Amino acid sequence: MTNSIAEIEDAACVFIIGSNTSTSHPLIARRVLRAKEKGAKLLVADPRAIQMSHFADVAVNQRLGSDVALLNGMMHLILKNGWEDRDFIKARTEGFEELKETVAAYTPQRVQEISGVSPADLEKMSEIYATRRPATLLYTMGITQHTTGVDNVKSVCNLAMLTGNVGVASSGVNPLRGQNNVQGACDMGGLPNVFPGYQQVANPEANAKFTKAWGRPLPDKPGRTLPDMITAMSEGKLKALYVIGENPKLSDPDANHLKHAFNNLELLIVQDLFLSETAQGAHVVLPAASSAEKDGTFTNTERRCMRLRQAIKPLGNCLPDWEIASRLATAMGYPMSYRNAEEIFREMAALTPSYAGMSYERLGIDGLHWPCPTADHPGTKFLHPVQFTRGLGKFHAVQYQDPRELPDAEYPYYLTTGRMFAHYHTGTMTRVSPALDREQPTGYVEINPQDAFKLKVREGEVLVISSPRGRIEAPAKISPEMLPGNLFLPIHFGENPTNVLTNSEALDPLAKIPEFKVSKARVEKLVE
């Protein structure tokens, strides 16, 4: 997030696009409702009529994968009506002329043809977002999990910059991170191209710095992303995989293809709390301590680094992940001897400029927002107040492109995926929780009442959903939240493994994110 969670309350407009906020981030949804109570206008754009849509001043259901067209259409109207922030554009940005030229073609009529959003709604949304400032924009995987994921993100940034909604309190472009420490995993260099603090492995200076600190020559060629690793596994180029706290066999696209790739491995090491689907196929399984059983820090979606404290002893013979990693490194001939998590934090902070001013003592209970470069720096609530990381903010003129798959005669439905309120990811943590299991014990396929009528299917009857990759079964959940011709499957259930249907070849060319949010599918009633 460019801004922090508390700031949402004081926005004059909140625009939610591609985020089922009340389900996936309930305590952020609370801030949105607070903002409404204080007089903010709420805009919600989502292919489903989600709970937040019912609270919205304007709610639209854009067709799956049509976000670029919708956002370009908003910018078209903002420019046509002179609602843009000319001072901000002049002082802080570049590339405005190209953007203007591109969005000129996105007339309300054309946007309606692509996205199904009416010109009247588009006009209302554009006016509210551009004229009620500060406006904050919230999004999640509904924006990113597309072959055009990067284009979608560029488009939301364009919209925020066009209206001067960056670098000001309660504004900004705010991706809500889905996992407790996904921000931290990225910050710590858990990516193929960067060291901690986004220092490029290919940059000779950064590489020399870490080579010196770690006492070993380090590779300078960026490595493989997760989808590339899976391709390399099926081609027999990647022989060993070390998986920590992750269940790719259920979470990654095209499960059947994935099974084949995993079978090719000579060594699969899985480090986890549970014997997940992925761990079951491992050669060796290392039992890890849970977050209640160790010290350390997490960095949340607003870049706030916070301490967790050990509450109880690790269960059985479990060890914290840092201790397992240290022991394994030592066994490999690279001695690591950290006495506690704090020692590792100090080593990391000394090498990572955005964390350099942090210490366990300073973090206390509330934590600190990065960047926090020095020991007397108070942390940074919102980014880019004076200039962007690269200097001027660049408008990227983006043309709309269809998702990789559109429905056809054989597969006439749109299929999309997401979370349920009581569950989390592949369910390894939530499905073993009695209270959460009682709330939502099974998966389902959500379908519009008209479609259910056509299929002569009643609530709870089993449907067979198929795509070019495979087929699964799931009980029908008939719901007016779905548009006709659209299906929704939650991602949490091994017995209705949604990712048998999704496409591992439809990736964003730059971010390599799979297009989980749009597949084509067929649906039939199960004939026994």
Partner 1 sequence: MYRLVPSVCSYCGTGCGVLFEVLDGQLLKTLPLKTHPVNQGKLCIKGWNLHEFVNSRMRLQSPLLKVNGRFHDVTWNRALQFTAEKLKGIIEKYGPDSVGVLVSAKITNEENYLLQKFARAVVGTNNVDHCARL
Cβ atoms within 10 A of the Cβ of 118, count?
13
Which residues, 6+ apart, have CB-to-CB distance to 370 below 8 Å?
187, 299, 303, 305, 354, 355, 358, 379, 380
C-beta of residue 521 within 8 angstroms of C-beta of residue 422: no
DSSP secondary-structure letter at 460?
T
Q: Toward partner 1, which CB reaches closer, 127 or 437? A: 437
Q: Toward partner 1, which CB reaches closer, 93 or 354? A: 354
C-beta of residue 341 within 8 angstroms of C-beta of residue 320: yes
C-beta of residue 47 within 8 angstroms of C-beta of residue 170: no
Structure tokens at 488: 């929704």
Shortest approach of partner 1 to residue 526 CB, angstroms? 29
- What is the full DSSP assignment across 396-456? --------S----SSS-EEEEEE--TT--TTSTTTTT-HHHHHHS-S--EEE-HHHHHHHT
Q: What are the angstrom distances between the C-alpha of 81 and each of 74, 84, 112, 124, 456?
A: 11, 8, 19, 12, 48
Which residues, 6+ apart, have CB-to-CB distance to 182 below 8 Å?
none
Shortest approach of partner 1 to residue 66 CB, angstroms? 21
Structure tokens at 79: 């420019």
Strands 194-195 and 199-200: antiparallel
Q: Toward partner 1, which CB reaches closer, 115 or 416? A: 416
Q: Toward partner 1, which CB reaches closer, 351 or 463? A: 351
Q: What are the angstrom distances between the C-alpha of 415 and each of 38, 149, 472?
A: 37, 17, 13
Shortest approach of partner 1 to residue 493 CB, angstroms? 15
Q: Toward partner 1, which CB reaches closer, 291 or 450? A: 291
Shortest approach of partner 1 to residue 393 CB, angstroms? 24
Q: Toward partner 1, which CB reaches closer, 25 or 92? A: 25
Shortest approach of partner 1 to residue 360 CB, angstroms? 10
Shortest approach of partner 1 to residue 82 CB, angstroms? 37
Q: Toward partner 1, which CB reaches closer, 164 or 189? A: 189
Q: Toward partner 1, which CB reaches closer, 306 or 455? A: 306
Which residues, 6+ apart, have CB-to-CB distance to 427 below 8 Å?
492, 493, 494
Shortest approach of partner 1 to residue 224 CB, angstroms? 5
CA 76, CA 42: separation in Å to the nearest integer?
21
Q: Toward partner 1, which CB reaches closer, 51 or 450? A: 51
Q: Which of 157, 14, 16, 133 is nearest to 83 (CA)?
A: 133
Shortest approach of partner 1 to residue 520 CB, angstroms? 21
Structure tokens at 324: 């397992």
Shortest approach of partner 1 to residue 10 CB, angstroms? 14
Shortest approach of partner 1 to residue 154 CB, angstroms? 17
Structure tokens at 311: 């509450």
CA 324, CA 49: separation in Å to the nearest integer?
45
Q: Which residues, in sequence order, are bridge partners of residue 391?
A: 388
Shortest approach of partner 1 to residue 273 CB, angstroms? 6
Q: Toward partner 1, which CB reaches closer, 113 or 366? A: 366
Q: Toward partner 1, which CB reaches closer, 116 or 314? A: 314
Which residues, 6+ apart, have CB-to-CB distance to 451 below 8 Å?
413, 482, 484, 485, 523
Integer Rg of the chain from CA: 24
